Amino acid sequence: MHNKLETVLNETKQTQILSVLRLTALWAFSESAFGGILHALTIPLRGIFINAAAVLFISLIALCSKNSKEIIKSTLIVILIKALVSPHSPLTAYFAVGVQGVVGYLLFINKNFFRTSALLLGIITLFFSGVQKIIVLTVLFGNNLWKSINIFIKQIANEFFSLGLHSDIHYGFLLVGIYVFIHIIAGMLVGFYAGTLPKKIFEFSEQIKSLNLDNSDFEIPKKQNKGKKKSWLLRPTGAIIIIILSALLIYSYFNPYKSEIESIDILIMLLRSIVLTFLWYALLVPFLKKTFEKFISGKKVLYSEEIYVILNLFPHFKKIVGYCWKESANKNGFYRIQYFLSNSFYYLLLSK
């Protein structure tokens, strides 16, 4: 099976378009700029798309490289470029990229099982993406968060529909399960797709030979510069949870006999999240950032040539994305997003 994949891939490399450096550049572009483009185009579930792109590029790097250690090198370069282009990205974003690279390296040590490795990479990467936010929420608010959400949903259901209060269903865990399940399904789909990439690349390469972007007169919407990233508590997820806990706090205060959780427990959760957020941003982040910056500055010189080449490719990549968005204008809704993302991926991959 591996020999067949190599044969198909070699047929697409006549002009050395699919080099490891090119794939690393595309991975870096996806991590540093593509998220902003998706945000500007108001495409939902951006995190899943960006993690899915990482799975595709890591799989192709593994296939194009002679040794899976190239994945580690590519990972370091992507982290360096992300730090240069998106310096205000949270440290957890760099950690996620590092985990993706290490998992990819371990899975592709033996390339004879390329499709299986790609499938596992997709599942592990998207599962980690889903679980990461759950872990952060649990650390910030404690285990009582899920109990509180469960009680809140039960009480709302009972108030408006006269059901749910005595149900054995744990709605908090159910929400977590659905959220993680969506990520696992997405991981399975992208992992399976990554295993078929060599054949699909060969088929698509014939369609874009006439692509000419030299005289393009279009642009994609630009993401507004909002400065530094907001504190986690001020982002949508944090705000929603704070609203839920505040509502439950007020409800349990005025209806102490109807609530299964004490007002003081909810208050402690809110105070805990505020204290931990303060400690994180005031003490831990500055220390970790300094350590990270030392690491980055030490690696910049080592990969300066690759970084220079990759950053010079970014304007060309943005042009291609703009072309694909304009080309998808005759489609609507989900079909436009699907068409846009699919064409963007292959055009970015195969254009000269």
pLDDT one-digit tens code per residue, 12-43: 443 344 688 999 999 999 988 877 777 776 67
What global pTM score does this model have?
0.79
Q: Which of 344, 325, 341, 347 is nearest to 218 (CA)?
A: 325
Q: Using CA atoms, how far apart are residues 19 and 17, in angstroms rounded to an integer? A: 6
Q: Using CA atoms, how far apart are residues 22 and 64, in angstroms rounded to an integer? A: 11
If you search the block for the tokens 């005289």, which residue do you land on?
Answer: 215
The two tokens of residue 211 are 């692509």
Q: What is the DSSP letter of 80?
A: H
- Does residue 300 contact residue 80 with C-beta atoms inside 8 Å? yes
If you search the block for the tokens 């936010």, which residue do you land on?
Answer: 133
- Does residue 81 contact residue 32 with C-beta atoms inside 8 Å? yes
Q: Using CA atoms, how far apart are residues 291 and 42, in angstroms rounded to an integer? A: 35
Say what the pLDDT of residue 117 is: 94
Name, in order, each residue with C-beta under 8 angstroms of 335's C-beta and a sequence gap of 6 or more: none
Q: What is the DSSP letter of 201?
A: H
Say what the pLDDT of residue 14 is: 38
Residue type, 164: G
340 sits in which H/E element: helix 333-350
> pLDDT of 84-104, one tens digit each?
888 777 788 889 999 999 999
Low-confidence ranges of the chain (pLDDT < 50): 1-2, 4-5, 8, 11-17, 164-165, 215, 217-218, 224-227, 257
Q: Using CA atoms, how far apart are residues 27 and 50, in angstroms rounded to an integer? A: 9
